[in-house]
Structure 1
């Protein structure tokens, strides 16, 4: 039923694997970019949402959700490597026998670290702008970070599952869409749902939680321990969402016959796939 899309995603994963193995420094730069791109969208939605939260506006979630599509639009259209999207890619390619478990975990480890460094570098740039230096302790960026750092672990885990289900759905549908306008609309809807519903995304939280920790007026509840309290269950939840609800589910619906795993560079190993994400 969905075999052409599954095959396209598998081929993209193989290209990612080959580029990672053959051109690791260049590939790593693409992981930095994804962390920064998602972070730019976080800065946007909290810049817009801060005044609305202070005014008690009921439209805060609507405005923030409607603005976050920037994140995946940049990741997909500009091209970069996103940790959460690669859960779907490498699950399908490994189930099809085109990549190995070693390839998969190597990729996820490299991309997670790269996304984190990219997010941290963006935080340093934002600190340099002075945009949030006068933000009071009750500013939305602090209250949101504090809530994320103190929420129950199980709730964070399940929010992470639902979040990456939507993120990977956006990527999946971008492969099925025939034109760029359709892709933009599909990405927008999925990310609108994720932000407005209050789900948790590990890469987005890399910027939000780190920036909140680095700002001068951060309340005491914002700590490294709180950062880990959020990041660990959210990352695990994101993995379940991408692996089980997308990668395994759609491969099971439209399985691609296994092929012998090859570590030789593919014809396009010198170029990152158009849909790297």
Structure 2
């Protein structure tokens, strides 16, 4: 079961590695674009969340999930290299031994760095607009403070759950025959992890960058930011690799 779909994922992984090997600058640019796209979703979430929270809305998390999904939709529809989604794609190729783990880890590292660069640039541009003030700025700064002060176990568990959702969106997208179906699955999975309050490493890059550039009188711990990104990145990897890629690899492998 799922042999054809798993093979298609491996072909996708080969294409990613081909791009990295033949055009590393191009691959880095695609990773930066993913940081930009997820950053746009994060900023939209912060804007809507700030306005709805100020208005006393009780459904802010659900609304945030709906609007944040634009980020993953842009990644999958426009084409970009997202670290969290690549945890699943590349791990499937690694488990099926179509690609070496050394090359896979190298791609993950470059992709993460590119996502970070794109996220910081997006946050800087948003800061330059002067819109990260008032209710919006306060909401995003509060979000950054909360994330930077989270406990290690809590952050790790939330990160695992988050990337289960993201990687399921990628896996379902590989099985969908229409772009509309892919978008629908993106929205369903993103609404799930945002509404539940799970942790996404790349989204956090933008939240922290905006919060640090526009603290709005709040003290955001640099150490807390670094700890969050490390713990959440590891948790995202476990969620994508162990909880999604490994099970579907085992389901799709030939009987020994």
Structure-1 separation of matches of 2:10 and 2:205: 28
TM-score, normalised by the number of residues in structure 1: 0.89
Alpha-carbon RMSD: 1.4
Q: CA deviation at 1:55?
A: 3.0
2:40 corresponds to which residue?
A: 40
Q: Tell me the residue number matched to 1:71.
A: 71
2:216 corresponding residue in structure 1: 217
CA distance in 2, matches of 1:216, 1:202: 20
* Count of aligned residue pairs for this structure pair: 255
Q: For structure 1, which runs of at least 5 residues remain unmatched after alignment?
A: 258-277
Judged with a 3 Å threshold, the aligned counterparts in structure 2 of structure 1 residues 256 and 212 are, in CA distance, closer, same or farther, namely farther
Bigger shift: 15-24 or 51-60?
51-60
Counterpart Cα distance in 1 of 2:252 and 2:35 = 31
| Residue 10 of structure 1: aligned partner | 10
* 1:68-94 deviation per Cα after TM superposition (whole angstroms, max 9, x unaligned): 110110000000000011111111111
The aligned counterpart of 1:198 is 197
Query: d(CA) in 2 for partners of 1:5 and 1:19?
Result: 21
Is this contact kept in 2: 1:83–1:203, CA < 8 A?
yes
Q: Secondary structure at the match of 2:41?
A: helix
1:59 is aligned to 59
Give the equivalent residue in structure 2 for 1:146.
Answer: 145
| Most deviating of 10-19 and 210-219 | 210-219
Cα deviation for residue 54 of structure 1 reads 2.0
User: 5 Å matches for 1:171-190?
Assistant: 171-190=170-189
Deviating beyond 6 angstroms after TM superposition, the runs of 4 or more aligned structure 1 residues are none
Q: TM-score, normalised by structure 2?
A: 0.96
For residue 17 of structure 1, give the secondary structure of its aligned residue in structure 2: helix
Q: Residues 20-35 of structure 1: matches in 2 within 5 Å?
A: 20-35=20-35
Is the CA contact (8 Å cut-off) linking 2:173 and 2:185 kept in structure 1? yes
**Which has a greater percent of helix?**
2
Q: How many angstroms does 1:192 deviate by?
A: 0.4
Q: Which of 240, 243, 246 is the matching residue for 2:241?
A: 243
Equivalence for 1:228: 226
- 1:145–1:209 contact (8 Å) kept in structure 2: yes
- State the Cα distance separating 1:109 from its structure 2 match: 0.5
3-state SS of paired residue (2:27): helix
- 1:44, 1:216 → 2: CA distance? 18
